[in-house]
């Protein structure tokens, strides 16, 4: 999901950076100091999730979990994912430096959208319904991220259109896996520690 430096055109880089900056600003504003540790935990979880490789066919996919992060954090997903991406780029050479803005936007915007779309479903009375909405959120976050990645590539040049299409197709199995995993995670969190998914609700009051 990470795009490397050098592939994208200048307008896409600048646009992504500006949009990501806006998202991070909103996220920082909505996040108070008391919730910093919680946001940090999820930011670290995103980082760890990329180690978790699940076998699939001849290859393996790694988890992204931006749906789950969005469900728990809302707008604060922007700063959380930016921090994780900075650490990945700086200490692991994973992704790039000037594309940080585009990468953050591509992963965090779906997280925020999922928050608004699936939030109501997650707090449903029946755990099964909640898990279903969680799965939907996990899968659609990946779908949206893939579309955004493909769009950033396609906008950077005609030559990338084929690669963009291939990215879309290659991520269908990832969507499926991520949906299952997120659904199960939501089910468990609801039963063990429901406050976890209600954090953001408290934030809306202040």
Which residues ranging from 160 to 179 are in contact with another protein (CB under 8 A)? 160-163, 166, 177
Please say which residue, 30 or 110, places its beta carbon nearer to another protein.
30
Is 155 a residue that touches another protein (CB under 8 A)?
no
Is 21 a residue that touches another protein (CB under 8 A)?
no
Is 123 a residue that touches another protein (CB under 8 A)?
no
Is 79 a residue that touches another protein (CB under 8 A)?
yes
As given in the structure block, the two tokens for residue 131 are 């898990």
Is 116 a residue that touches another protein (CB under 8 A)?
no
Is 93 a residue that touches another protein (CB under 8 A)?
yes
Distance of closest approach, residue 56 Cβ to another protein, in angstroms: 5
Rounded Cα distance, 1 and 107, in Å: 8
Is 120 a residue that touches another protein (CB under 8 A)?
no
Stretches 91-99, 108-116, 117-125, 141-149: which one binds another protein (CB under 8 A)? 91-99
Is 94 a residue that touches another protein (CB under 8 A)?
yes
């Amino acid at each position: 999901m990470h795009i490397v430096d050098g592939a994208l055109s200048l307008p896409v880089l600048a646009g992504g950076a500006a949009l990501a900056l806006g998202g991070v600003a909103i996220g920082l504003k909505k996040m108070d100091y008391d919730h910093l540790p919680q946001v940090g935990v999820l930011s670290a979880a995103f980082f760890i999730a990329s180690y978790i490789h699940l076998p699939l066919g001849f290859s393996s996919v790694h988890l992204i979990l931006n749906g789950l992060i969005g469900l728990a954090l809302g707008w604060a997903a922007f700063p959380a994912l930016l921090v994780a991406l900075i650490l990945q780029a700086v200490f692991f050479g994973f992704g790039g430096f000037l594309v940080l803005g585009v990468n953050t936007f591509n992963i965090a915007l779906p997280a925020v959208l999922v928050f608004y779309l699936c939030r109501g479903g997650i707090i449903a009375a029946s755990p099964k319904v909640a898990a279903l909405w969680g799965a939907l959120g996990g899968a659609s976050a990946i779908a949206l991220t893939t579309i955004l990645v493909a769009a950033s590539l396609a906008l950077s040049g005609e030559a990338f259109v084929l690669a963009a299409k291939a990215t879309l197709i290659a991520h269908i199995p990832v969507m499926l896996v991520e949906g299952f995993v997120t659904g199960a995670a939501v089910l468990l969190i609801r039963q063990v520690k429901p406050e976890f998914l209600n954090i953001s609700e408290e934030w809306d009051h202040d």
